[in-house]
Amino acid sequence: MNISYQLELRPELSTVYGPKDYTEFRQQLEQTDHLLSRSGTEDRFLINFIRQNGKKVNKLPFFRKVLRTLILLHLTNESYRDLAFRLADSDLFRWFLGVNSLKGDTTPSKSTIQRFEHLWSKEEIAAFIHDLNTQVNDPNQSEELLFDDRSLEIKNVYADSTCVQANIHYPVDWLLFRDAIRTLVGSIKLIRSQGLLHRMQSPDSFLSEINSLSIAMTQSSRNRNGKKERKKTFRKMKKLLRKMVKHALRYYSLLEEKWPITDLSEKQTKQILQRISNVIEQIPAIIKNAHTRIISEKKIENAEKILSLYEKNIHVIKRGKMDADVEFGNGFYLAEQEDGLIIDWDFIKETKTDPQLLKESVERIVNNYDKINKYATDRGFNSKRNSSFLDKEHIFNATCPRDPQELTIKMKDDQFLNAQKRRAQTEGRIGIFKNKFIGKKILRKGFDNRETKILWSILTHNLWVIARIANENYERKMEELSQAA
């Protein structure tokens, strides 16, 4: 099946003498287009999607635009709204999508782009990533795709782990009280706007009171009797929260019973009811935790902490970094090959230690590609069990030892020394991936949505890396031909 673009109908890019940053970005986008078109990866990905989902063949050009829209979304790390604006405004972006204004093609809106992101399953996106990596690992295709006879080999692996922070504020116990009241007040006001009323004071008065108490709680640390004032303020917050819960339960029952006479659809009604119940279900736990810390002055185990009323499956991750001793989110494991291509990853839903990640990663890499020669990590991954596993698999063990004496001995081995020097670049790779493709905090709600964002970011990152290498090879080849002439 041939689903190639009709290139004769594709508008040509106009010549723009812009700044260097624009020129480099444009060249990489052109190389990305070349890679997607020539490798056949894009075609195979779309064909499999069509077959598995029973889509019509005449919609293939549409799905191609969808895929390329998602690549631009994660390459620019724009919001849905900002990208929708740029797609309509940028000749370069429209060229990359294959939008032809002469045919009356349109660019997607922000809501459409958001739906695009969830069109493919996580398994399909992961398969696309591995297929792309396999293509550039094939020596028979390197000249056409990379303009060089050297393929991007997947033999040496360099790995590290980090924390991908969730989009939450610092999880102070009493601030969760404020969050709960704000959410419940918002839901009650929405119900009241539909003419469903129950006797209560103005909902906005609850917001004013909780804001005043939050300010008092913050300022209590400056008071000589701060601890006493803090406990006193906390008791007032707890009383206000419980009063708010009683009103919210009344309005919950009211909406559940009389929603057919409102202008709300059944789906909208369920959303409001779910929002109220989600908060109310967590009230006993957040009161208990705050009471333990503020009144009883005891510590709480990380596993028992509620970090956010709205985000599940996030954890306290101790990093010990200078700018952040602890972070709140999910662990993320990344493994790259020599040229910076991400070949394995694990976005961790539950907590895992670094040594647990090594064996799982090696098995996935071997399953998706082929046997590897070398595996290098920092000392966090080192353990006797992992060393035995790597020896058994005949993989050179370049994990940094925890024992200083053993490290001194290993540093005399040139292969180990070079592997550790190269492994240091993996920390930079993680920094690039997080800052350029994800952002300081991942702006998605729910673990599944955050994982989907991670997968699209990995795919886009790899396209970006391959396009940069291809562009450098192409420019070098053009320069050599120019000098030869």
Residues 468 and 421 reside in one and the same domain: no
Whether residue 2 lies inside any domain: the answer is no
Residues 109 and 205 reside in one and the same domain: no
Whether residue 168 lies inside any domain: the answer is no
Residues 281 and 385 reside in one and the same domain: no
Whether residue 1 lies inside any domain: the answer is no
Residues 294 and 378 reside in one and the same domain: no
Number of domains in the chain: 3
| Mean pLDDT, rounded, for 307-324 | 83
270, 286, 304 - which closes a domain:
304
- pLDDT (0 to 100) of residue 343: 97
pLDDT for 4 beyond 50: no
- pLDDT (0 to 100) of residue 480: 86
- pLDDT (0 to 100) of residue 352: 86
- pLDDT (0 to 100) of residue 1: 43
- The first and second tokens of residue 231, run together, are 């406990």
Whether residue 256 lies inside any domain: the answer is yes
| Confidence class for position 278, pLDDT limits 50, 70, 90 | very high
Whether residue 457 lies inside any domain: the answer is no
pTM of the model: 0.91
Three-state DSSP class for residue 314: coil
Q: Give Cα 280 to chain centroid, integer Å.
A: 29
Residues 341 and 274 reside in one and the same domain: no
Identify the bridge partners of residue 344 per DSSP, sorted by sequence position. Answer: 335
pLDDT for 198 beyond 50: yes
Neighbouring CB atoms inside 10 A of 56's CB total: 8
- The first and second tokens of residue 405, run together, are 């004496």
For 229-254, what is each residue's pLDDT tens digit?
999 999 999 999 999 999 999 999 99
pLDDT for 52 beyond 90: no
Residues 259 and 331 reside in one and the same domain: no
Whether residue 201 lies inside any domain: the answer is yes
- pLDDT (0 to 100) of residue 57: 64
Choose between 138 and 12: higher pLDDT.
Answer: 138
Residues 364 and 394 reside in one and the same domain: yes
Going by C-alpha positions, the residue among 335, 455, 334, 474 that lies closest to residue 35 is 474
| Confidence class for position 104, pLDDT limits 50, 70, 90 | low
For 62-89, what is each residue's pLDDT tens digit?
888 999 999 999 999 999 999 999 999 8
Whether residue 452 lies inside any domain: the answer is no
Q: Which residues, at least 6 apart from 183, have a Cβ–Cβ distance to it below 8 Å?
A: 275, 276, 279, 309
Neighbouring CB atoms inside 10 A of 393's CB total: 15
The DSSP output letter for 401 is: P
- pLDDT (0 to 100) of residue 102: 60
Residues 146 and 13 reside in one and the same domain: yes
- The first and second tokens of residue 85, run together, are 């604006």
Q: Which domain holds residue 343?
A: 156-163+312-443
Report CA-CA distances (Å) from 405 to 160, 355, 382, 397. Answer: 23, 20, 14, 17
Neighbouring CB atoms inside 10 A of 308's CB total: 17
Kindly report the CATH number assigned to the domain that includes residue 221: 1.20.1440
Going by C-alpha positions, the residue among 334, 332, 342, 335 that lies closest to residue 464 is 342
Residues 286 and 343 reside in one and the same domain: no
Whether residue 448 lies inside any domain: the answer is no
- pLDDT (0 to 100) of residue 7: 47
pLDDT for 10 beyond 70: no
244, 272, 304 - which closes a domain:
304
Identify the bridge partners of residue 346 per DSSP, sorted by sequence position. Answer: 333
Kindly report the CATH number assigned to the domain that includes residue 409: 3.30.420
Give me the helix-helix angle, 60-76 and 41-53, nearest 10°.
Answer: 120
Residues 298 and 335 reside in one and the same domain: no
- pLDDT (0 to 100) of residue 98: 84
- pLDDT (0 to 100) of residue 226: 80
Mean pLDDT of all residues belonging to the chain? 90
281, 304, 327 - which closes a domain:
304
- pLDDT (0 to 100) of residue 71: 96
| Confidence class for position 152, pLDDT limits 50, 70, 90 | very high
Residues 354 and 296 reside in one and the same domain: no
Going by C-alpha positions, the residue among 289, 287, 285, 262 that lies closest to residue 273 is 262
Residues 189 and 225 reside in one and the same domain: yes
Asked if 438 contacts 167 with a C-beta cutoff of 8 angstroms, the reply is: no
